[in-house]
Structure 1
Amino acid sequence: MSVTENSAATVALPVVRPGGVPGGLEAREVSAWFGEHKVLEQVSLDMPAGQVTSLIGPSGCGKSTFLRILNRMHELIPGAALAGEVLLDGADVYAPDRRLTDARRRIGMVFQKPNPFPAMSVYDNVTAGLKLTGVRVSRSERDRLVEECLTKAGLWNEVRDRLRQPGGALSGGQQQRLCIARSLAVRPQVLLMDEPCSALDPTSTRRIEETIRELVSEVTIVIVTHNMQQAARVSDRCAFFLASPGVPGGIVEYGPTPAMFGSPQDPRTADYVHGRFG
Structure 2
Amino acid sequence: MTDAPNLTADLPVARPAGTVPPGAAETTLTLPPVPSGAFADAPAEGLAGLETRDVSAWFGSHKVLERVSLGMAAGEVTALIGPSGCGKSTYLRILNRMHEMVRGAALAGEVLLDGDDVYRPGRRPAEVRRRIGMVFQRPNPFPAMSIQDNVASGLKLAGIKVGKEEREHLVESSLRRAGLWDEVATRLHTPGGSLSGGQQQRLCIARSLAVSPDILLMDEPCSALDPTSTRRVEETIAELRGRLTIVIVTHNMQQAQRVSQSCAFFLATHDTPGRIVEAGPTEQLFGSPRDQRTADYVNGRFG
**Paired residues, number:** 272
Counterpart CA distance in 2 for 1:8 and 1:59 is: 38
With normalisation by structure 1, the TM-score equals: 0.95
The partner residue of 1:180 within 191, 205, 208 is: 205
Is the CA contact (8 Å cut-off) linking 2:135 and 2:204 kept in structure 1? yes
Q: What is the aligned partner in structure 2 of residue 12 from structure 1?
A: 32
Q: What is the aligned partner in structure 1 of residue 263 from structure 2?
A: 238
- Residues 161 and 47 from structure 1, CA distance in 2 versus in 1: closer, same or farther, beyond 3 angstroms? same
Matches within 5 A, 1:204-219: 204-219=229-244
Q: What is the aligned partner in structure 1 of residue 254 from structure 2?
A: 229
Counterpart CA distance in 2 for 1:221 and 1:28 is: 18
Counterpart CA distance in 2 for 1:174 and 1:63 is: 25
Is the CA contact (8 Å cut-off) linking 2:34 and 2:169 kept in structure 1? no
Pair 1:198 & 2:223 matched: yes
- Residues 188 and 14 from structure 1, CA distance in 2 versus in 1: closer, same or farther, beyond 3 angstroms? farther
Shift of 1:140: 1.5
The partner residue of 1:125 within 140, 150, 160 is: 150
Shift of 1:10: 5.5
The alignment-based identity, stated in percent, is: 70
Shift of 1:229: 0.1
With normalisation by structure 2, the TM-score equals: 0.87
Counterpart CA distance in 2 for 1:189 and 1:8 is: 18
Counterpart code for 1:242: L
Counterpart CA distance in 2 for 1:11 and 1:147 is: 16
Root-mean-square deviation (CA, aligned residues, Å) is 1.3
Counterpart CA distance in 1 for 2:195 and 2:29 is: 33
Is the CA contact (8 Å cut-off) linking 1:193 and 1:222 kept in structure 2? yes
Is the CA contact (8 Å cut-off) linking 2:81 and 2:250 kept in structure 1? yes
Is the CA contact (8 Å cut-off) linking 1:13 and 1:135 kept in structure 2? no
Helix, strand or coil for the counterpart of 1:98? Answer: coil
Counterpart CA distance in 1 for 2:30 and 2:293 is: 53
Counterpart CA distance in 2 for 1:64 and 1:70 is: 10
- Residues 43 and 246 from structure 1, CA distance in 2 versus in 1: closer, same or farther, beyond 3 angstroms? same
Helix, strand or coil for the counterpart of 2:295? Answer: helix
Shift of 1:9: 6.5
- Residues 250 and 29 from structure 1, CA distance in 2 versus in 1: closer, same or farther, beyond 3 angstroms? same
Is the CA contact (8 Å cut-off) linking 1:14 and 1:187 kept in structure 2? no
Helix, strand or coil for the counterpart of 2:67? Answer: strand
Counterpart CA distance in 2 for 1:9 and 1:182 is: 16
Pair 1:110 & 2:135 matched: yes
Is the CA contact (8 Å cut-off) linking 2:34 and 2:166 kept in structure 1? no
Specify every segment of 5 or more residues in structure 2 that has no aligned partner in the other structure, as ranges. 1-26
Matches within 5 A, 1:39-188: 39-188=64-213
Shift of 1:82: 0.5
Shift of 1:22: 2.6
Counterpart CA distance in 2 for 1:134 and 1:200 is: 31
For CA contacts below 8 A with separation 6 or more, give which structure has more relative contact order: 1
Specify every segment of 5 or more residues in structure 1 that has no aligned partner in the other structure, as ranges. 1-6
Counterpart CA distance in 2 for 1:98 and 1:116 is: 28
